[in-house]
Amino acid sequence: MRVADDEQLFYKLLGDYPNLRHAFAWAIENNLDLAQNLIGSSSNLQQSHGYGRDSLEWAEQALARAVRRGEPAPVARAQRSLGKALGHAATLAGEDRAARLHAALAAYDEALRFRTPATAPLAYAVTQTNRGWLLQDLATLAGEDRAARLRAALAAYDEALRFWTPATAPLDYAMTQGNLLILYQTLANEPGEDRATRLLEALRAGWTAFHMFTALQHAEFQQWAMRQLRALCAACGADFDALWASLDAGPPPAWLSALEEPDLP
């Protein structure tokens, strides 16, 4: 089920959703670990097919149970699930977006009280990446210090990359590099930022992500990185050649400046 959810093969899951609800109702009363597994394995399905409020309700129930049990690891896991569910709830009609996003950040920060580099380095990295995405969302709100939120997101991704390396978590490492590509490009357009430096950082992150996705033979993400790099090439404009030369990566591939969408190399 987790594979189908992660890869968004929801047709494999939708028909069984009533049974999934029954399974969770039993698990939350009898087996917290199973309940948390069900939350993690169905959140993408719920949040993409109109069951986002179920996702939030399940996460709240799991947190209440975990707090009652009093063990740090389940509490941290429940806080992380709650943060994700609250972040999605912020997109729903009738919700206070700012309040939900701030609550999601608080949930992630609470998870980090228990998920530390010493006790759970990879889970710590997951939560830092979640925070990075959320901080970028907070940066879009009126009244927020946009630059400060974006730099905090950058710091969160950098923290995750202390533990997500090509050896320990290659796919997560590549996806975080992709996140950095987008964030660096956003920062390049912010007042007070060195545009050339940020664009160079975006190129480096994007090129790293592309090569990692290629090595992992993950065609969908590889094509995504290719499209992002081509868009970034256009954003660099006349500075592209100098920026690319700074990467010391050899000549840019032909597809980077091609007018037509290329086939994968």
The packing angle between helices 72-89 and 32-48, to 10°, is 10
Is residue 255 over pLDDT 90?
no
Give the lowest-confidence range in 19-23, 93-97, 106-110, 141-145.
19-23
φ/ψ (deg, to 5) at 176: -70, -35
Higher pLDDT pick, 156 / 23: 156
Confidence check: pLDDT of 264 > 80 = no
pLDDT band at 11 (very low <50, low <70, confident <90, very high): very low
Q: What residues contact 87, with CB distance under 8 A and at least 6 apart?
A: 100, 101, 104, 130, 133, 134, 137
Tally of helices (H runs) and strands (E runs) in the chain: 12, 0
Pick 255 or 144 by higher pLDDT: 144
- pLDDT digits 0-9 by tens, 201-238: 999 999 999 999 999 999 999 999 999 999 999 899 98
Mean per-residue pLDDT, 157-175: 96
* Per-chain mean pLDDT for the chain: 90
User: For 148, how many CA atoms within 13 A lie in the half-sphere containing its CB?
Assistant: 4
Distance CA 43, CA 188 (A): 33
pLDDT score recorded for residue 20: 86
Q: CA 5 to CA 84: how far, in whole Å?
A: 15
Predicted structure pTM score:
0.87
Q: How confident is the model at residue 256 (pLDDT cuts 50, 70, 90)?
A: confident
Of 243, 232, 245, 233, nearest to 186 (Cα)?
A: 232
DSSP SS3 for 145: coil
Residue 41 has a pLDDT of 83
Please give the share of the chain, as a percent, with pLDDT higher than 90. Answer: 75
Q: Kindly report each contact of residues 60-69 with a partner whose C-beta sits within 8 Å and lies 24 or more positions away, as own/partner.
A: 60/85, 61/28, 61/35, 62/28, 62/32, 62/35, 62/36, 65/28, 65/32, 65/35, 66/32, 66/36, 69/32
Residue 262 has pLDDT above 80, yes or no: no
- Helix or strand run (H / E) with residue 52: helix 52-69
Q: What is the pLDDT of residue 4?
A: 37
| pLDDT for 5 beyond 70 | no
Confidence of residue 191 (pLDDT cuts 50, 70, 90): very high
Average pLDDT of span 131-156: 97
Give the pLDDT confidence score for residue 202 in this predicted structure.
97
Tell me what pLDDT residue 166 has.
Answer: 95
**pLDDT at position 50:** 83
Q: What is the pLDDT of residue 96?
A: 96
Q: pLDDT higher for 137 or 264?
A: 137
Please determine, for residue 141, whether its predicted confidence score (pLDDT) is greater than 80.
Answer: yes
pLDDT tens figures, 29-73: 999 999 999 898 888 888 887 887 899 999 999 999 999 999 999
